Structure 1
């Protein structure tokens, strides 16, 4: 677990939400519950049914009560801080929350495992006001999602990035992965490539599945037959990219669309080991974008996730949820951008 610099070295003290006794009685009357139950909801204690909690929350909104945000904690769950995209996203979200007096705790977890739930359970009584699933178990369709049941039982609001939990209705902010695939395919097709392959992430990973769908649709719109044969699904890392690229190069592809920058750099290795070069023989497009890509050989063209726009939306949603202001639950899709560098070119002349 890593706490960002804004939280300082002092221990975090839990601060309970306060409500005057007169208003407490008014809320209890409106919700048709006891004042003790209202208190439990205010302090997010166990032992309150979802229906009762909802009734109390609605009564709190009716009397105009907003939970204060000073010294509150926002827990961010992410799978990997070594990947620049997750570290960058977490930093930008923290910058959006800090002006509101909110402090971030960033936890690196193995999504969909008991570890994710353990982090939440260990910190939930430390004044956690909201939780951000930063591409954690919310991206996995068949993961253990009991962590959401725990959060719901305590009435803690949450928002997900790049895919939501199918069993819950909660705000989601995602990069438009269908659009990302379209942008990449369009660029390679405009250069003259027709045998284009995709280095895709694992099955039942929401962003990976969306990018595959977008790739297939983009290829079919351009009259490419049987595009599924040009999809190789592996892990999002360097080794996965190398394996997927090797399989696709054997099919004679001249352009590769990767589902992460790490996979794209793995494709560089596969191209070199095949006795070919980027971009003279094979063009490669990554996904995410990092300033470090300017220093790869050649610099990697990539589809950029607009992390700052994602952070702006997440910050707005989190502060609204904590203050009990209504927010929409339709997924917000942020358009990606193509960042041209030096890894794409016209395809080689076929002899």
Structure 2
């Protein structure tokens, strides 16, 4: 005999097993006010144990929303930098927690017809935009449009845009302080592309750290990078001619390129040259030596961005600026002989 189809679990089922009204169950599952924490937890546990999945079509009709958000990323970022892949994964996890579908929109010089039609036809409710996509014309137009937007990172010209930013300035100060505590004297910096706010802030933090510690800056030890390993290998080799004993890289990809330049020069880390990074996204534990870096809280940052976008869509007030703080992760690449990571 053919198997009998099992009817899907409904909201009424969840409410009945939870011992609450249908309205209370709905509020609990959608994160709305008016439900005690213990009731919310009970309803969520019951929904999970029963395998409840909301009817997205019905939800769309009832709310006027598609329950799909977009993530705008530069297409090249997914190919050349682990930062992009980490961001996509963290945003996807956050969207899933909020029962939102996620559509990846890759930023190129011009959007494809499919991307343009998706946005124009209202097939997504709002977008999370990675700041590294800023500068592309259609992305700028998207930020200026009526579609609700949350930016991950800073926009150089639009402080009014809702955004979640990583604190960059004081984070770099903490790296320089760590290096000075380890006894390094000639500390260099390979900064990122200065049209980006994060690169500007990290460079400013490097300078501020020297001012704070009463140390002079040798301008020959500040050189431009572009956040890629290829450029970092080249400028790193040139920088080593100026005899730094520590190099603060603007991101992990730059740091990894510099480490290659140090090895090719026949120098050792950290005895001859210390190297530090920023991001915490690359496979740092397989590097030799392991890399000291400022680890960004990707899960927290993306959760804030998605939760804030969902709140904006619900008509709630959301702070224009929310800031998360990276954590200094000390490893072998910056510890003198005899030291050990905390």
Distance 2:243 2:289 in 1: 21
Matched, 1:335 2:325: yes
What is the CA-CA distance between 1:290 and the residue it aligns to? 3.3
| Shift in alpha-carbon separation, 1:167–1:151, aligned structure 2, 3 A | closer
Evaluate the alpha carbon distance shift between residue 345 and residue 151 of structure 1 in structure 2; reply closer, same or farther with a 3 A threshold.
closer
Q: How far apart are 1:173 and its partner, in Å? A: 0.7
Cα gap change, 1:151/1:183 in structure 2, threshold over 3 Å: closer, same or farther? closer
Report what 1:132 is aligned to. 128
How far is the alpha carbon of 1:243 from its aligned partner? 2.1
TM-score by length of structure 1 reads 0.72
Aligned counterpart for 1:345 among listed residues 320, 335, 339: 335
Q: How many residues align?
A: 278
Relative to structure 1, is the Cα distance of residues 76 and 220 closer, same or farther in structure 2, using a 3 angstrom cutoff?
same
Maintained 8 Å contact 1:178/1:213: yes
Name the SS of the counterpart of 1:74 in structure 2: strand
CA distance in 2, matches of 1:263, 1:118: 35
Say whether residues 1:121 and 2:88 are aligned partners.
Answer: no
Q: Secondary structure at the match of 2:78?
A: coil
Q: Does 1:202 align with 2:198?
A: no
1:101-145 superposed Cα distances (whole Å, 9 cap, x missing partner): 3111123334xx334x8674232125111111123333xxxx354
1:253-281 Cα distance to aligned partner (Å, 9 max, x none): 10011111111111111111222111121
The alpha-carbon distance between structure 1 residues 304 and 280, as it changes in their structure 2 partners (threshold 3 A), is same
The residue aligned with 1:190 is 181
Q: Residue 157 of structure 1 contacts residue 321 of structure 1 at CA under 8 Å; is this kept in 2?
A: yes
* Residue 230 of structure 1, CA deviation: 2.0
**Deviation, structure 1 residue 294:** 0.5
- Taking a change above 3 Å as real, the CA distance of residues 213 and 228 of structure 1, as seen in their structure-2 partners, is farther
Structure 2: distance between partners of 1:323 and 1:282: 52
Q: Which residue of 2 aligns with 1:294?
A: 285
Are positions 1:73 and 2:65 aligned together?
Answer: no
- Which structure 2 residues correspond to residues 246-265 of structure 1 after superposition, within 5 A? 246-265=237-256
Shift of 1:346: 3.0
- Distance in 2, Cα, partners of 1:257 & 1:307: 21
- State whether structure 2 residue 168 is matched by structure 1 residue 173: no
Q: Against the structure 1 CA distance between its residues 185 and 120, is the aligned structure 2 distance closer, same or farther, given a 3 Å change threshold?
A: farther
Find the residue that maps to 1:136 and give its secondary structure. Answer: helix
Matched, 1:84 2:74: no
Evaluate the alpha carbon distance shift between residue 304 and residue 99 of structure 1 in structure 2; reply closer, same or farther with a 3 A threshold: closer
Report what 1:28 is aligned to: none
Deviations 1:141-176 (A, max 9, x none): xx35453434544x2110111212524622111111
Residue 272 (structure 2) aligns with: 281
Distance (Å, rounded) in 1 between the aligned partners of 2:148 and 2:57: 17
Deviations 1:65-122 (A, max 9, x none): xx555x4221111221242222222212222222333111123334xx334x867423
Is there any run of 5+ residues in structure 1 with no aligned partner, and where?
Answer: 1-12, 20-66
What CA distance in whole angstroms lies between the structure 1 residues aligned with 2:114 and 2:143? 12
Could you tell me the TM-score, scaled by structure 2's length?
Answer: 0.74
Measured in 1, the distance between the counterparts of 2:125 and 2:203 equals: 36
| Aligned equivalents of 1:262, 1:118: Cα separation in 2 | 33
- Give me the CA root mean square deviation: 2.5
The verdict on how the C-alpha distance between 1:145 and 1:327 changes in structure 2, with shifts beyond 3 A counting, is farther
Contact kept? 2:252, 2:282, Cα under 8 Å: no
Residue matched to 1:98 = 96
Q: By how many angstroms is 1:18 displaced?
A: 6.1
1:84–1:342 Cα change, 3 Å: same
Deviation at 1:306, TM superposition (A): 0.7
C-alpha contact 1:179 1:335 (8 A) present in aligned 2 = no
